[in-house]
Amino acid sequence: MIHLPLYPLVAFSLVFASPDVNSAVDSHCRETAIYSVGTASGTPDQSAAFNIKDALPPGYVKDGSVDYTDVIQKAIDTHDVIIFPGFPVLVNDKGLIIGSNKHITFESGAKIMLKPTTAGSYAILRMRDVSNVTIVNPVIYGDRKQHLGTGGQWGAGIGIYSGNNITIKNPKVYDCWGDGIYIGEDMKLGRESRDILISGAYCRNNRRNGISVVSVDGLQLISPYAGYTNGQSPMCGIDVEPNNAKNVLKRIRITDAVTEKNESYGILMNITRLYGGGNNLVDVTVQNHNDNYSAGGLRVVAYRLQPGNGGNLGGNISVINPHWNSNSKRALDAMGVYEKNLKLNFSGVKISSANRRVLDSSQTRNLIINSVSKKTDLQFVH
């Protein structure tokens, strides 16, 4: 049983595989963790914004006890600059569909609550094949505490499917049947999301994952919190995991993430399903990840589910200055990485045990060596 990091005494870089060690370090360990991606346009004139309360019927309630899904949806469809008023509103499992070119702001006290449902799949805020959307300070409560069914695991607070140029600032998502936030593709379109910026996310007590990253080219996750995920596997704070070999994991930057007391790992990167689609390249950087008391800090998995799966995996996964603290299982698990064309770059690793004792450089090095598949070509680069 391995426990996790607080303040290690040494910083070093690891490169798994790759004959070109210097190139891997130069291009990934020394780079800044956040690359520029497109973001939606600036804040519009709020004096012209439509307040959702003006669409509610006479005598409307402010306690979230009446379902106003249809009138709210009509207002969203009609107006481009929208304000949610400072009280809770109830919606059903149809959720709210957000179109292109929308700017939505939630006032202090505003929140969307999901009416208890039997549905195993939903998205309370859904963005499907849309562009140029900004949502500021959304607060969303799922129904896991009052859920009426037992099946399914795909109820999301915020769902982005083949979206482009989307910015979400300070979202708070609680108690969803599946993921707090889901970023991927519309399966009918078969196209990844592109240029997504999510800053200050707070995802707590969601059932499947805090944040799921499935298919995206250009993602910034800045200062996300994902904690207390439990109930349905994978049960991770942040899960970077494609559904199939056509998915894309490129230009993904996760910066200053805090994960806490997740039933499984703080961050999971399981890219196994990318096999079978030719030669796929992965580009993910995680910088300043701090996990406290999750079962594990970080897990990376890449192996062929079937020997005949075609193609190879390549690219880089870089983990810079992680602090993994007091995990009940493993600080790091890369025993399932069997792909030598995929470079795993680690620098500044800090690990502490259950009693908060910081591992020294030799102990940290040995822990990492023992946490990586022996089929992986491992090198330490100072």
Residue in 250, 111, 82 with CA at minimum distance from that of residue 173: 111
Gyration radius of the chain's alpha carbons: 21
pLDDT value for 344: 87
pLDDT value for 372: 74
pLDDT-derived band at 306 (thresholds 50, 70, 90) equals low
pLDDT digits (tens, 9 = 90+) for 124-145: 999 999 999 999 999 999 999 9
pLDDT digits (tens, 9 = 90+) for 136-176: 999 999 999 999 999 999 999 999 999 999 999 999 999 99
Report the sign of the C-alpha dihedral through residues 9, 21, 275, 189, in that order: positive
What b/e readout covers 117-129, taking b as 16+ CB neighbours within 10 angstroms?
bebbebbbbbbbb
pLDDT value for 378: 53
- Is the predicted pLDDT of residue 7 greater than 60, yes or no? no
pLDDT value for 48: 87
Token pair 């939606």 is found at 40
* Sequence-distant (≥ 6) Cβ neighbours of residue 344 within 8 angstroms: 14, 15, 16, 17, 300, 316, 317, 319, 334, 337, 372, 376
Q: What is the pTM of this model?
A: 0.89
Highest mean pLDDT among 39-48, 184-193, 275-284: 184-193
pLDDT-derived band at 4 (thresholds 50, 70, 90) equals very low
pLDDT value for 10: 34
- Is the predicted pLDDT of residue 29 greater than 70, yes or no? no
